[in-house]
Amino acid sequence: MAIELKGVSKSYGSIQAVKEVDLSIPGGCLFGLIGPDGAGKTTMFRLITTLLIPDKGTVTVFGLNSVKNYREIRMFTGYMPGRFSLYPDLTVEENLSFYATIFGTSIRQHYSFIEPVYGMLEPFKNRLARNLSGGMKQKLALSCALIHNPKLLVLDEPTTGVDAVSRKEFWDTLNLLKKSGMSVIVSTPYMDEATRCDRIAMMQQGVVMVDDTPAAVLGAFHKPLFEIRSENRFLLLQSLRSIAGVKRAYLFGRSVHVTLESETADRVWLIEQLKKQGIDNPAISAIAADFEDCFIEAVEDDNVNNKAE
Amino acid sequence: MNNQSIIRVRDLVKKFGDFVANDHLSFDVYEGEIFGFLGANGAGKTTTIRILCGLSLPTSGKLEIAGYNIYTQREFIKRNIGYMSQKFSLYEDLTIKENIRFYGGIYGLSTATIKRKTDELILELGLDEIANNLVRDLPLGWRQKVAFSVAVFHEPKIVFLDEPTGGVDPVTRRQFWEHIYRAASRGITVFVTTHYMDEAEYCERVSIMAEGRIEALDTPENLKKLYDVGTMDEVFLKIARKG
């Protein structure tokens, strides 16, 4: 295992950001930590990159303890924080040289590692970092994280607020880095990006709810799930919520996704119930869950369990 | 939705020096519509929104917002719209109640109206127990609900939502859209930007910008047919890649 967390907790005052997390991340894979803002993703990354000390539990990175051996871990770890953290009043090249010097290397020595990313930025190497566009800032930050040829690359929400096209390109780059042998760990609030990872962990309120391959996470959703369409979605949604026996109903694009209380209730039952609500001829099909369905399921079942306690 | 224009844009051009951020945009947004305004980063969306909100003047073009002229009646425009962005919509060091009252005051509502509407809103959002807590202590999902409610507190004709759901969990994101639907059903026109392509499907019509121009504008269904694909994600890829 590249990274192992055992019984890890971390609090800030009265806020418990990470709660008793056990998680193993294999080496050489593209690992996605998926969850909304406030789930604890950044705290997890700061613990892994030795920037925070756990209150409880241990973090092991490539066999090294995050507290005792933090210097060694830092030498082979590249970290790209969520907020742009380079020097705005240095040029592109100056920022990169600065990072290279910290790690006892030079741009020239490790040029081949950053070339796929830095190549596009090099024509602007004399520009001040503050004058770069969002996409260019991101490329510079990634170049700086790669300059010492790390074997572990940790990226905190690199695609947040980035448009759908640029997000796809960024994931392509990460895939290339992984193929070169690097262990890459990425956090994201976009559930659909789970498909781009070899393994994922879904996090909410400091807890890792699910940890597996994307296919296994989808496969574990074994309740019948229905996609329902009708002329007026909002009306459909409200009608579905008022039917006893409908467990959950949520908007999904043009349709509403529905799970039922009873395993035996089916399409025919749904059509009947909707007819009573005055909705005729809804289009209903049984579908496979996507990652958002799985996340909602995990969160809500978790809430139910908490209430029961 | 009827076909009465509430936003009418004709040949909108906005230049910054030599750079053309908005290149002859023409479009209408209809009263009561949920209108999705999409585009890649840097396509020029923010420039357009700033102009539509009366915060910046176009280089040229004819624009009417809620019936008011963009060059001569910007103060009227501001009074008739609401605005919410993902980042700074609320004062973190004020309580929920104080934030609501503050915005009501800015829009010139009477003290009695503010008091009545604040109580109503807090009850509707189920926030009565924490109405006197600082906004800073609220989870993000709640903050966004409060921010949205504040943006429509003065019953504006149009509300502009700039990436309102970024970083929010899937459940809260959907609850947020239910608030949007509710506002639209009261007749408020919703103008929204998002990077979530499933949310593009929640809109009645969407426009997609690339390099300062509107490359496509239609219902999600028609756009998918036009580009012969199954999802808005693919439509977006085809258009934005062209740029």
> Quick one: pLDDT at residue A308?
42
pLDDT band at B197 (very low <50, low <70, confident <90, very high): confident
For B190-228, the DSSP string reads EEEE-S-HHHHTTSSEEEEEETTEEEEEE-HHHHHHHTT
User: Which of A83, A241, A251 to mutate: most B Cβ within 10 Å?
Assistant: A251
Please provide the distance, in angstroms rounded to a whole number, between the alpha carbons at the two ends of chain A: 34
What number of C-beta contacts closer than 8 Å exist between A and B? 88
Q: Average of pLDDT values for B91-119?
A: 93
Question: What are A16's strand-pairing partners?
Answer: A11
User: Which of B162, B169, B206 to mutate: most A Cβ within 10 Å?
Assistant: B169
As for the ipTM of the complex, it is 0.79
- What percent of chain A stands above pLDDT 90? 72
> Quick one: pLDDT at residue A165?
83
Judging contacts by C-beta atoms under 8 Å, the chain A residues touching residue B169 are 35-36, 39, 189, 204, 295, 299
Q: Which amino acid is at B76?
A: F
CA within 13 Å, CB half, A58 = 9
- Is pLDDT of B139 > 90? no
What 3-state DSSP class applies to B181?
helix
- Is pLDDT of A303 > 70? no
How close B202 comes to chain A (CA, Å)? 6
Instruction: Give pLDDT tens digits for B211-236.
Output: 999 999 999 999 999 999 999 989 99
- Is pLDDT of A4 > 70? yes
Question: In this structure, is the dihedral angle defined by the CA atoms of residues B137, B142, B148 and B151, taken in order, positive or negative?
Answer: negative
Who among A38, A160, A164 is closest to B139 (CB)? A38
Q: Average of pLDDT values for B31-43?
A: 92
Q: Which of residues 181-210 of B touch A (CB under 8 A)?
A: 181, 185, 195-198, 201-202
Judging contacts by C-beta atoms under 8 Å, the chain B residues touching residue A234 are 178, 181, 185
Instruction: Give pLDDT tens digits for A26-51.
Output: 999 999 999 988 899 999 999 999 99
Q: Give the residue among A252, A166, A268 at the shortest CA–CA distance from A260.
A: A268
The verdict on a CB contact (< 8 Å) between B40 and A37 is no
Q: How many CB atoms lie within 10 A of CB A103?
A: 17
Judging contacts by C-beta atoms under 8 Å, the chain B residues touching residue A133 are 41-42
> Quick one: pLDDT at residue A89?
96
B155/A contact by beta carbon, under 8 A: no
- What strands, in cross-sheet order, belong to the sheet with B5-16? B19-30, B5-16, B60-65, B68-69
> Quick one: pLDDT at residue B79?
93
User: Which of B171, B175, B203, B235 to mutate: most A Cβ within 10 Å?
Assistant: B171
- What percent of chain B stands above pLDDT 70? 98
The verdict on a CB contact (< 8 Å) between B171 and A164 is no
Name the strand (E) or helix (H) holding B51. Answer: helix B45-52
Who among B174, B181, B232 is closest to A250 (CB)? B174
- What percent of chain B stands above pLDDT 90? 70
Q: Average of pLDDT values for A72-79?
A: 96
Who among A37, A254, A299 is closest to B168 (CB)? A37
> Quick one: pLDDT at residue B172?
86
A271 in Cβ contact with A282 (< 8 Å): yes
Judging contacts by C-beta atoms under 8 Å, the chain B residues touching residue A189 are 166-169
pLDDT band at A292 (very low <50, low <70, confident <90, very high): very high
Please provide the distance, in angstroms rounded to a whole number, between the alpha carbons at the two ends of chain B: 32
- Paired sense of beta strands B34-39 and B205-210, if any: parallel
The verdict on a CB contact (< 8 Å) between B198 and A252 is yes
Question: What are A153's strand-pairing partners?
Answer: A78, A184
Show which residues on chain A lie within 8 Å of chain B, measured between beta carbons.
Answer: 35-39, 133-135, 160-168, 189-191, 204, 233-234, 237, 250-254, 292, 295-296, 299-300
Judging contacts by C-beta atoms under 8 Å, the chain B residues touching residue A166 are 40-41
Q: Average of pLDDT values for B28-37?
A: 96
A12 CB contacts (<8 Å, ≥6 apart)? none
How close A140 comes to chain B (CA, Å)? 17
pLDDT band at B82 (very low <50, low <70, confident <90, very high): very high
Instruction: Give pLDDT tens digits for A112-170.
Output: 889 988 998 999 999 999 998 877 888 899 999 999 999 999 999 998 878 888 888 89
- Is pLDDT of B91 > 80? yes
> Quick one: pLDDT at residue B85?
84
Q: Which residues of A79-94 are buried (b: 16+ CB within 10 A; e: fewer)?
A: bbbeeeebeeeebbbb
> Quick one: pLDDT at residue A206?
95
- Is pLDDT of A307 > 50? no
Whose tokens are 């930590």? That residue is A33
- Paired sense of beta strands A64-65 and B189-193, if any: unpaired
> Quick one: pLDDT at residue A304?
53
Q: How many CB atoms lie within 10 A of CB A62?
A: 17
Task: Quote the CA–CA distance of A161 and B41 in Å, as a whole number.
Answer: 9
- Tokens, residue A146: 């790669």
> Quick one: pLDDT at residue B193?
93
Task: Quote the CA–CA distance of A3 and A140 in Å, as a whole number.
Answer: 26
Q: Average of pLDDT values for B62-81?
A: 95
Residue of B nearest to A252 (CA): B198
Judging contacts by C-beta atoms under 8 Å, the chain B residues touching residue A204 are 169
> Quick one: pLDDT at residue A306?
54
B234/A contact by beta carbon, under 8 A: no
pLDDT band at B242 (very low <50, low <70, confident <90, very high): low
